[in-house]
Amino acid sequence: MAERTVDARGSFCPGPLMELISNMKSMQVGDTLELLSTDAGSAKDVPEWVHKVGHEMVDTNQDSEGTFHIKVRKAK
């Protein structure tokens, strides 16, 4: 299963969630993606979308510099 990182730090437009959605289209079921985001809203809106579509949240944490690391697995 492949892993990829999407660096969406400092992205206001299209923004971290849109970057995540775009990237997930190119992934295979079972692949994981780690999203880097400096937008605090990502910790809320990414899980909201992931659950609504039926993918899987793997992990969310914030590093000492304030960057959110949000890991998602493509489930369908």
Partner 1 sequence: MRILVVGGGMGGTIFANHLARRIHHEMKTGKARITMLSASHEHVYQPGWLYVAMGRATPDELVREQESLLEPGIEFHVDPVEEFHLAQNHVKCKSGKVHEYDLIVISTGSRAMPENIPGLKENSVNCYTAENAVEYYKQLSEFKGGRIVITVGLPHKCPMIPLEVTFAMYDFIKDRGLLDKTEFYYTYPIGRVHSLENVAKWAAPEFDAKGIKYETLFNMKEVDGKNAKVLSEEGSEVAYDLLVAVPPHKGQEVIEKNGLGENGWIPTNRHSLHMEGEHGKNVIVLGDTTNLPISKAGSTAHFEAETAAENVAAVVKMGRPVKSYDGKVFCFIEAGKDRATYAMFDYQNPPQPKAPTGSVHAFKMAYNKLYWATARGLL
Active-site residues, by number, are: 13
Q: Tell me which of 2, 7, 58, 75 binds partner 1, using CB under 8 A.
A: 7
Binding of residue 41 to partner 1 (CB under 8 A): yes
20 in Cβ contact with 6 (< 8 Å): yes
Q: Which residues have a Cβ under 8 Å from the Cβ of 53 and sit 6 or more positions away?
A: 76
Q: Tell me which of 28, 52, 64, 66 binds partner 1, using CB under 8 A.
A: 52
Q: Site residues (CB under 8 A) for partner 1?
A: 6-19, 21-22, 25-26, 41, 45, 48-49, 52-53
